[in-house]
Every structure is written in C-alpha cells, then in structure tokens.
Structure 1
Amino acid sequence: MSFRRNGLSFAAVVAAATVSGSAMASTINQNTSWTIDRSTSTTKYRVVAYGDSIYAGYNGGLTSVARRAAPVVQGEYLAKTWNTDVEVIRRTKSGAKADDIYNNKIVSERSYMQDASTRVVLFEMCGNDYLQARSAFSGQSGTCDYSGLEAALSACATYTERAMQTINQYATTAKVKIVSNIYYPGFNADNVQTGCKDASTGATVNKQTKFLPLLARSNWRTCSLAEKYGFKCADSFAEMMAADYDSNGDGQIDSAAIRYKAGETESAYVTRITTTLRSTLRDSNTHFVNASTSYDYLQSDDTHPTYYGTTIGVNIFSGSGSGTGAPQFTDAQVVDGKNPEWNKSGHERMGWEGARSNPATP
C-alpha cells in the first residue's frame, strides 16, 4: 500500500536543500511567522529557523508555503511539552546556496535569534551548492571533472561551521541549537551513467555511485561539526532514506542503522552508508513504515518534502507571511512523542526528528 501527499505539478521549482532536481540561479525570500496558540497559556517562546526552500516549506509556487514545514512541526511538539505558546520564525531563502544563507539570513537577520524569547535555533543549508554542482557535472562530456563537486563539499563545511559559530555568538538565550543534514531525493533517478568518462578508467560514471559518497562525507562533517560546537544534529538522511523495519535481517531497524554515530570516523561512516548498509537505502518517494505500507515523502518535483495540512500565504513582493492557530493535534493525540501523522510525510518526519532534541523546559 503506497500513499502520496501534496503532489504538485513541477512548476516554478526553486532549488532545495537536497541533491536532486534542477538547480536554478535565482533565489526568493520566503519568510514566515506562525504562532502555535495554546488556550492554556499566555506565555510565548520563540523558535528561529534559518535555511532554504526546505525550511521555507516550498510547495511549488511563490504565493504560499506549507504551514507545517519541519520547524512548525517541531514547534508544535515543543508547545505541548512546555504548555506554552510557541512562535516559529522562518527566515528562509529558496534557491540560496550556503554562503547566501549564512551572510544574508543568519548574519544579516541575527536579530530574530537575539530576541530574549528565543529558546531554539535551527538551520539547514548546502543543498543548492550540491544541486548546482550536480547539474554542471551531469552536463559534462569528454573527461569527467570532479572539482565542482569537491568545491561544493568544501563550501558546505566552511559555511556550516561559520553558521554554528555565529549562532553560538548571538543566540544567547537558546536552550538548544540544531542543524539538519541533507537527504537524497532523486536517488533512483540518479542510477544512470554520465556523459563524461573517468580519467583513470576511461568509462562513464554512475551518478548515484558518485554522488552518494559525496553526500555521506558532507553529512558526516555536518554532524561532526555539531558535536564540536554544541549543536544537535537532526539526521534527516536517516529519517528519509531507509525503512522503519529490519529489511535485511541484521537485527536493526534500517532507518536507525544508518544514523550518524558520535565519535565514528568519516571513513567508517562513509563505508557504512555507501557499502555495508547501502542495500537498505530507499528512494524517499517510497518510504516504508513497515513491510507492507509506504508513504511518499517527496512532492511530485522529486525534491521537496511532502507535508500535512494547509498553507501560509506569502506576499509575492515582500516574501513574508504570518498567522496564528491552535495546535493541529490535541495533547491526547500525541502518544509517546508522536502525532498521528509523524511518519506519513516528509516534513512531519523531519519535524519529529528535530523534536527529539527539544529541551524539557524553557
């Protein structure tokens, strides 16, 4: 049994925090504020999320975004835990590369995390660096040039580290700071040969085989930097890219088995992802929650996460939108830290993963 949510025609798609899809040079601000208003509270705390079209909740258009993108999902879990109102500020730029997010969101818009009510700061970046590098690489002929892919990896690590340093400097009231690594939509689509040939072998290169180790190296570095700077690492790759049951009989749930492990070397992690457990990796369009039921975690653009519920209108000129509403789910519906939709769409899954690091008190 398979389910697709929020399927959209591929129109006006902007590059995202992933390694699949068509990279575009243009960017667009999609900044929103959504307040989760609990009837039992008049106290309000803030979650600030910086990033690109993933945290924006991009849904295929320019005049609305998903209300329940991952930061709002996480904020709703937080509101229940604290029994307070939670304002989720998303300062995002769809199509932006890591340097753009760092300079024009995290640094230039640092005032949002400097607010005394801030308790959680989230960020994600780098996907558009890889999208553009991947697009350029895919168009090559002759001898393959891998320098663009390596440059994207270097830029990702550089600006991820700078982002952590800056957030540590300015988010002085935050109880927790979280970075999300990146998943790999288009995993199945990339299982094709390139038009260029490797200089050593003289043969064409399988895109998936080339890109997966690059992504693994990137995700290891993101989570390793998180350890260094006191951040939590939300492992979106693990939550999006493997099943929630033991498909290979090794005694481990697949999605848990591929998670980043603190203290593991980069080489060991890359080997585990690309060789040891590679057979358990699955395209996010078919995320199996058990052996017989799967959900579609990607919209029809094969890039952006699916989402549950409604949207927030965004002004096409200012790029801003806001709103207030009661929690989507009652306290009684959240059982063992999971709402009824927690594993049925991409954004719900990413938001639940982030919520695993929510502080117990404000």
Structure 2
Amino acid sequence: MAFGSAASASTLNQNVSWTIDRAGTTTKYRVVAYGDSIYAGYNGSTTNAAKFSAPTVDAEYLSALWNADIESVRRTKSGAVASDIYNNKIVAERSYMQNASTRAVTFEMCGNDGLQARTAFKKQTGTCNYSGMDAAVNNCKTYVAAAMDYINANAYAGVKVKVISNLHYPGYAADNVQSTCKDATTGATINLRDKFLPKLAAMNYWMCEYARQKGFQCADNFAQYMGADYDSNGDGQIDSDALRYVSGDSEASYLTRITSTLKATLRDANAHFVSASSSFDYIQSDDTHPTYTGGTVTAGLFGGTTGSGAPRYTSFAGGKSPIWNQYGHERMGWAVSTYNPASP
C-alpha cells in the first residue's frame, strides 16, 4: 500500500507558498494544505517539488471563481505517517490556517501508514501476520478524526470550505502477486492486492464518513484515479462516478462495492482511461506519486519557495481546465475544487 510516501524510514519537510497572481485585482485569500508527499508534489527530489501540486491547482480554480489572488500554502512532510502530520503539521503549524485571509483548508494523510504496513508484510515468511495492516487502518481512523476536530476548533472562523483527500492505490497492478507467507487457516499464500484493497478501502471509507460527520467535504481520489471516465461494464454509470463514496453508506456496503461488486472496473492509474481508446499516466515512474505539469519550485533540504505567478488559465469552461484529466495532480486538484464555494 504505497499510498503516498517519499521513503518509509525518513521524512522530508517540503513547505511551499505560491500565490496565483491574477491580473486586475489585489484582493488575496489563502488556501492551506497539510499532508505528506502527495500534497507536497514529491517528484523524487530532496530539493524541489511540483509547483502545481493538487492544492495549487485548486488555488488556480479559486482565483478564477472569486476573481482574486489566491495564496496556496502547503505545509507538508514527505514520508510522514498520520500521527506525524497531525502533531507536527496540523497542530504545530496551526497558525497558517488561523490567518484571517484563509478561506479553505484541506489535508491528506495515512499513505505512509499503509506503505510501511505493506513493506513489512511483503517481507514476511512462515505464517502471515495481518496485525500491521489492521494497526495502519486504526491509526488512520484515529488521526483523521483528530485532525478534523482540531481544524474545526482552530481554523479561522471565516473559512468557507474544508476538504480531505482520500487515497489512490498506486502499485495496483504490481501487487497482483502472491505473498511469501502463508495464511494460518488455509496454509496457502495469499494475493497481496486482494488483502491490501479492503484495508485501503476501509481507510478511504472512514475519511469520507468522518468528513460527512464533521463538516468536511471528501475528494474521492480513489474513484478519480482508479475508475475510467466512461462506462466500461455497461451498468449505466461512468466507472469513476460509480466508485465514489456515497453519503450515508455503511462501511460494509462501501467495502462490498469496492472489493467485489465493482472490483472488475478498477484499473492501475498508470493508465487512466478517459475514454475507451485514450488514457493518461497519473503515476510517476516510482509507481507511487502523481504526475504533474507546470514546472517545479524549491522544496526540501534548502527550504521552500515563497513566490507568485500568473494563472495558467484565467477561466474554466464547465469548471474544468483543458488538462483536468491528463495528470494525477491536475485530477486531484480538480476534485478538491468541485467543493469550492461561489464566493469568499
């Protein structure tokens, strides 16, 4: 479950402030994003990251919607587990969301909890021990709920929208192999993907369900990445829509839909099909992190960029940029933007 890490044994602060500087206005609002390497825009470098990672893509949409300058503040730590992001980013760096210009707060976490559990499980021999994966799910639930409660209690009172982004499944194709350990009941090896998918689905369910309970929106990146943008199975629904969390779903119902009913529609996001004959690569060569366009900024060992630049696009027909579905970060940023309020 390599759901968003630079490395399982180390962490790297990758903090960036980038302002979408829109012509004809000096009014400025802020989007604050907390997370790990996904929101950081990690690209394998310890010194730079994607300029237009998902939170800054969202800032571009907000700039057009509100006709304002939008500062995208990314307080991120590549390689960090959920507890680290909660304690050392959301709590320790709460001042960024307390600023009076803040209108949106978004976060993502739990990817590295899953990664570490997967890495450990793949090394097992003898009888399989599933406790590490269960612990990853429980830790995710604990800190996602705590993060939402803390943001609700501490963010600037004028914040208009709060969004959590859930987890895609990089390595979906690569995990379709047998384990080196054997199940205690059957005495046989197990398929890694069949074991990891329900754990990932449980994490994603609780991210979206806690969001429903606690006044957040949930950008369902699993559905956006793992399902095609057409109806591949003839059930009358576009695959990426059919996979989305449904408000009020029970955990059992959601897990059944993802791991059984619609499992045949899941596809590795290295080839995200936008039609039956056209696909784009959403995952970098590390088989983990989202693809991006728009260049890089300093982020990592030598500090982080604070800068500004004109928007790549000044308007969005139908609420979508021309490249909204061509890169992983563009797709994630668009998913977050669908919850943007009409006014600041």
TM-score range, shorter chain: over 0.9
> Which of these residues, 21, 29, 33, is aligned with residue 49 of structure 1?
33
Mark the CA change 1:16 to 1:29 in structure 2 (over 3 Å): closer, same or farther: farther
Give the drift of 1:322.
1.8
Mark the CA change 1:22 to 1:42 in structure 2 (over 3 Å): closer, same or farther: closer
Match of 2:85 in 1: 101
RMSD: 1.2
- Please list, as runs of the form range in 1=range in 2, the aligned pairs for 1:1-362 lying within 5 A after superposition: 17-18=3-4, 23-171=7-155, 172-314=157-299, 316-317=301-302, 319-331=303-315, 334-362=316-344
Query: TM-score with structure 1 length normalisation?
Result: 0.93
Instruction: State the alpha-carbon separation in 2 of the partners of residues 22 and 160 from structure 1.
Output: 20
Give the drift of 1:315.
5.5
Instruction: State the alpha-carbon separation in 2 of the partners of residues 272 and 71 from structure 1.
Output: 29
Give the drift of 1:316.
2.0
Give the drift of 1:308.
1.4
Instruction: State the alpha-carbon separation in 2 of the partners of residues 89 and 257 from structure 1.
Output: 32
Instruction: State the alpha-carbon separation in 2 of the partners of residues 203 and 222 from structure 1.
Output: 33
Q: 8 Å contact 1:191–1:208 — kept in the other structure?
A: yes
Count of matched residue positions in the alignment of Structure 1 and Structure 2? 343
Q: 8 Å contact 2:20–2:63 — kept in the other structure?
A: yes
Mark the CA change 1:311 to 1:23 in structure 2 (over 3 Å): closer, same or farther: closer
Give the drift of 1:60.
1.1
Instruction: State the alpha-carbon separation in 1 of the partners of residues 56 and 196 from structure 2.
Output: 30
Give the drift of 1:330.
2.7
1:100-138 deviations in Å (ceiling 9; x for gaps)? 000000000000000000000000000000100110001
Instruction: State the alpha-carbon separation in 2 of the partners of residues 100 and 76 from structure 1.
Output: 29
**Counterpart secondary structure, 2:319:** coil
1:307-343 deviations in Å (ceiling 9; x for gaps)? 01111123524x3212100001132xx2100111100
4+ aligned runs moved over 6 Å, structure 1:
none
Q: 8 Å contact 2:82–2:109 — kept in the other structure?
A: yes
Q: 8 Å contact 2:6–2:37 — kept in the other structure?
A: no
User: Where in structure 1 are there 5+ consecutive unaligned residues?
Assistant: 1-14
User: Where in structure 2 are there 5+ consecutive unaligned residues?
Assistant: none
Q: 8 Å contact 1:194–1:206 — kept in the other structure?
A: yes
Instruction: State the alpha-carbon separation in 2 of the partners of residues 139 and 207 from structure 1.
Output: 12
Query: TM-score with structure 2 length normalisation?
Result: 0.98
Matched-pair identity in %:
62
Instruction: State the alpha-carbon separation in 1 of the partners of residues 300 and 186 from structure 2.
Output: 52
Instruction: State the alpha-carbon separation in 1 of the partners of residues 2 and 24 from structure 2.
Output: 37
Give the drift of 1:16.
6.5
